[in-house]
């Protein structure tokens, strides 16, 4: 059987991010994708227009039987929406399952996906026990309370995120200026820098979702974290120009 993996995130009806994109990546990398949606959105590839949280009662009813029926080998979280939602969901998740936390606090285009207090809830409730947290610069700054504007500051933020409870932190530098993109990974022992060329075209939508989903797939297959991150970045680099047909890549 294909390795089962789970995404707990918001829905993007355009298919450009969120659960829909996660499921595309899971399938492209040979995993059995499962999904629990936290938010419904009014969204196109041009931007996010409205957000409607899924009722808490639905999440409490839907998640436990899914986990019992087909326990995931790895899982990821995306947009949670509210601090109350973050506190509600965390105790429902299994311990010992590698979890990648993509701390979505806003959308790349359009309205926000989070509210006041969400960063603190993710920091306090989701970082402890996470196999990996994958913030962009703004999210790393919100979680650590420090400025994150350079690769050196990214490294310091990654160290602080591990001090806050995550087993490892991947701080993404896609919003840095320049043609090169630098991501830094701190696993508590070694600092890794991943350097690549910027993806062509306008600032891409959904890359954070796709990257974390790909990392989950490689973790579910038993790869060490550093190799899982490297393979996920390579997958994204090759697949993104043809993201409408992720199945051509693996």
- Is residue 139 pLDDT above 60, yes or no? yes
CA distance 139 to 197: 22
Split at pLDDT 50, 70, 90, the class of 109 is very low
pLDDT at 245 exceeding the cut of 90: no
pLDDT at 110 > cutoff 70: no
CATH number of the structural domain spanning residue 159: 3.40.1190.20
At 29-76, the pLDDT tens digits run: 999 999 999 999 998 877 788 889 999 999 999 999 999 999 999 999
- Whether the pLDDT of residue 158 is over 90: the answer is yes
Give the range of the structural domain holding residue 233, as residue numbers without chain letter: 4-248
As a whole-number percent, the residues of the chain with pLDDT over 70 amount to 90
Count structural domains, the chain: 1
Q: Which tokens hold the place of 162? A: 């591990």
Q: With 50 as the cut, is the pLDDT of residue 80 above it?
A: yes
> What is residue 114's predicted lDDT score, i.e. its pLDDT?
58
Q: How far is Cα 201 from Cα 75, in angstroms, rounded to an integer?
A: 30
CA proximity to 214, closest of 102, 122, 119, 128: 102
- In which band, very low, low, confident or very high, does the pLDDT at 107 lie, cut at 50, 70 and 90? low
Q: What is the rounded average pLDDT of the residues 233-244?
A: 77
| Cβ proximity of 99 and 77 under 8 Å | yes
């Amino acid at each position: 059987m294909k390795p089962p993996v789970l995404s707990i995130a918001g829905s993007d009806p355009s298919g450009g991010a969120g659960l829909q994109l996660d499921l595309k990546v899971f399938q492209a990398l040979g995993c059995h994708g499962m999904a629990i949606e936290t938010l419904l959105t009014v969204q196109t590839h041009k931007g996010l227009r409205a957000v409607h949280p899924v009722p808490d009662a639905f999440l409490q009813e839907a998640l436990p039987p899914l986990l019992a029926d087909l326990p995931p080998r790895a899982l990821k979280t995306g947009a949670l929406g509210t601090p109350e939602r973050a506190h509600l969901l965390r105790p429902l998740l299994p311990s010992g399952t590698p979890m990648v936390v993509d701390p979505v606090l806003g959308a790349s285009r359009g309205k926000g996906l989070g509210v006041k207090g969400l960063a603190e809830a993710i920091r306090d409730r989701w970082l402890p026990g996470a196999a990996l947290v994958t913030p962009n610069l703004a999210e790393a700054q919100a979680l650590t309370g420090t400025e994150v504007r350079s690769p050196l500051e990214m490294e310091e933020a990654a160290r602080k995120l591990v001090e806050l409870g995550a087993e490892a932190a991947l701080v993404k530098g896609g919003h840095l200026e320049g043609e090169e993109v630098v991501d830094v990974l701190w696993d508590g022992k070694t600092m890794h820098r991943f350097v690549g060329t910027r993806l062509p075209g306008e600032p891409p939508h959904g890359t954070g979702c796709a990257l974390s989903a790909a990392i989950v797939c490689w973790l579910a297959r038993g790869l060490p974290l550093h190799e899982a991150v490297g393979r996920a970045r390579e997958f994204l680099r090759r697949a993104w120009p043809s993201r409408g047909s992720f199945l051509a890549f693996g």
